[in-house]
Chain A
Amino acid sequence: MTAFILRRSLQSLIVLFVMSLLVFGGVNMVGDPVDMLISPEADQMEIDRVIRDLGLDRPVTEQYWYFLVNAFKGELGRSFIFGEPALKLIIQRMPATMELALFSLLLAVVFGIPLGVYAGLKPEGKLSRTIMAGSILGFSMPTFWVGILLIMFFSVNLGWFPSTGRGETATYFGMTSSIFTADGLSHLFLPAFNLALFKLSSVIRLARAGTREVILQDYIKFARAKGVQESRVIRVHLLKNIMIPIVTVIGLEFGSLIAFSTVTETVFAWPGMGKLIIDSIYNLDRPIIVAYLMIIVLIFVTLNLVVDILYSFLDPRVRIKGAK
């Protein structure tokens, strides 16, 4: 077990190292790092000062070392636009993104499981076919275009939900979030639904496939024969057994929600870190780009590591294979 965790941690470190090389290399080799890291409005004295501070007059290997050391200290440069440390700006925006991703996950589970179970229980029904056709569409429709459609119908035509921003936030238990105010919730719903759609489709498919498999098992037949109420059969005997693959996929794919939130946040002008990175790419605010990439890679590597370790707890086969 320890060997497995060590191996995986080492692998994560290697990935981080390779990614830092890629980002550093990209910034330093593709363009002139002076242009990339110093605001175009800076005067010559400022330029000289920053060149010295960043060690740009030193050999590349030494520069890379400084980049790593500074990254460990959390110093990833200052934004050209905001004049504040890039890392601070990103961390400020992180709660909005997390809120959006978590709420989407909730939507996907709350709607996906009942719809999928229903489609699995009555695979030939009309409603089931509609649900499955919907899930195919959900897989195929590009997220950004669905977002545009949602804005068109629910914001422009019907005026039910606002289409931009995060709305009013409130702070409870040390958490500042839109979910605590009615205005915030109404702002959150459309983007969250947009982001959830893809995940919703996969939860529906998983729940349906699981239901069709489990419903044929002897313990379900036995429970029914025993006279257990159908609602209890579904709630206890069926749901418990289909949850394992669903929970796994949800855990594994939480990261992809954060990645796809860049798209949703741009469409709905949601002030999270995804919108920040896209804006920064437009504005050529390179310190933020570098900092964002390093942070998102760190988040992913950590998420994958945690999921791998959790997996090995749940499934001994992974552990044995991985330790070899």
Chain B
Amino acid sequence: MSNVTDAKPQATAVPASGLKKFWADFSESRLALFALAVFSTILFIALFAPWISPTNPYDLGSVDIMNSRLPPGSEDFAGNVYWLGTDGAGRDMLSSIFYGLRVSLGVGAFSGIVAMAIGATIGLAAAYFGGRLETIIMRIVDIQLSFPSILMALIILAIFGKGVDKTIIALVLVQWAYYARTARASALVEKNKEYVEAAQCLALSDRRIILSHIMPNCLAPMIVVGTLQTAHAISLEATLSFLGLGLPITEPSLGLLIGNGFEYMYTGDFWISIFPGVALLITIVSINLVGDQLRDIFNPRLQK
């Protein structure tokens, strides 16, 4: 720790040097840096899939059933090379994976953001107002966390059927409790600090104190949980889609691609199932590694 922070122990906002320090801390782990680079690449692919994919796998005009189940690296009559092979309908696997990443990351990140917004609001309110409200909220959180997430999602999707909207709702309902618990834990520490008291003396509204005073100081643990939870959500969505309960066939995520390839496993056409799985694994592992490093940085016990 430098003298700067010792001199101003109350400094809570992140100044420019804070960002620099954050980056220095983060890049201490080569593995985390590598993971971040991998994840950035994946994010880039997901965002720009329609422009960088060799073909559009969902444009019926460009898909030829004659090209179905070509092994990786093969070439069709028109001279197109399928680096990762083609699936049962003749779609290029590489392009399918690019588009699938888009769906998987989109659903995972969107549900994560919604769950974080809802969970953080509930958790912060519970900590700030305390009393009976807090007891009831935290009891609900405890009960929900005692059920495995796959079971909660299964119950919701079994009742309401599949679909993009329903999958997102299921993922949000599964995740909000984690965010609520994290937000409450850090808000409990913050709410007794002097700056909150000062804000209360200024007769600021509760809403304003919670949102613009307490929340920014609870962000660090929220970001850590958010990173790890997003990886979890992507994995869960893939599982649900593989089981045929999550996304519809019109929104093929990585899980659906793997599921589609599953039937070809027994005939030895491994690439249809394996490559989307590798893409999924790389995504999840890179997010987890970045999340682990963030957790180490923000963990006060590990700070030098």
Do the two chains belong together in a single complex? yes
The interface of chain A, by Cβ under 8 A from chain B, is 11, 15, 19, 22-23, 26-27, 30, 136-137, 139-145, 148-149, 151-152, 156, 163, 255-256, 259-260, 262-263, 266-267, 277-278, 281-282, 289, 292-293, 296-297, 300, 304
Given A26-B160, A278-B243, A282-B244, do A156 and B268 touch, yes or no (CB 8 Å)? yes
In this complex, what residue of B is CB-closest to A31? B161
Query: B146 at interface (Cβ–Cβ under 8 A)?
Result: yes
Inter-chain contacts of A141 with B (CB < 8 A): 281, 284
Query: B150 at interface (Cβ–Cβ under 8 A)?
Result: yes
Q: Write the nearest CB–CB distance from B53 to chain A, whole angstroms.
A: 22
Contact of B288 among A19, A139, A143, A289 (CB under 8 A): A139
Query: B158 at interface (Cβ–Cβ under 8 A)?
Result: yes
Would you call B239 and A144 a contact (CB within 8 A)? Answer: yes
Mark each residue of chain B from 146 to 176: 1 if its CB lies under 8 Å from any CB of chain A, else 0. 1110110011011111000000000000000
Would you call B239 and A142 a contact (CB within 8 A)? Answer: yes
The dominant DSSP class at the A interface is helix
Contact of B154 among A151, A255, A277, A304 (CB under 8 A): A277
Q: Write the nearest CB–CB distance from A142 to chain B, whole angstroms.
A: 5
- A195 and B268 CA atoms in complex are apart in Å by 24
Would you call A152 and B265 a contact (CB within 8 A)? Answer: yes
Would you call B159 and A142 a contact (CB within 8 A)? Answer: no
- A111 and B143 CA atoms in complex are apart in Å by 31
- A15 and B151 CA atoms in complex are apart in Å by 15
Q: Of B62-70, B191-199, B272-280, which stretch is located at the interface?
A: B272-280
Would you call B160 and A148 a contact (CB within 8 A)? Answer: no
In this complex, what residue of A is CB-closest to B160? A30
- A11 and B244 CA atoms in complex are apart in Å by 34
Task: Sample 14 A-B pairs with CB under 8 A, ordered by A number.
Answer: A23-B155, A137-B285, A140-B284, A142-B255, A142-B280, A142-B281, A145-B238, A152-B265, A152-B270, A259-B148, A266-B243, A277-B154, A300-B147, A304-B146
In this complex, what residue of B is CB-closest to A255? B148
Mark each residue of chain B from 231 to 266: 1 if its CB lies under 8 Å from any CB of chain A, else 0. 100010011001111000000000100100010011
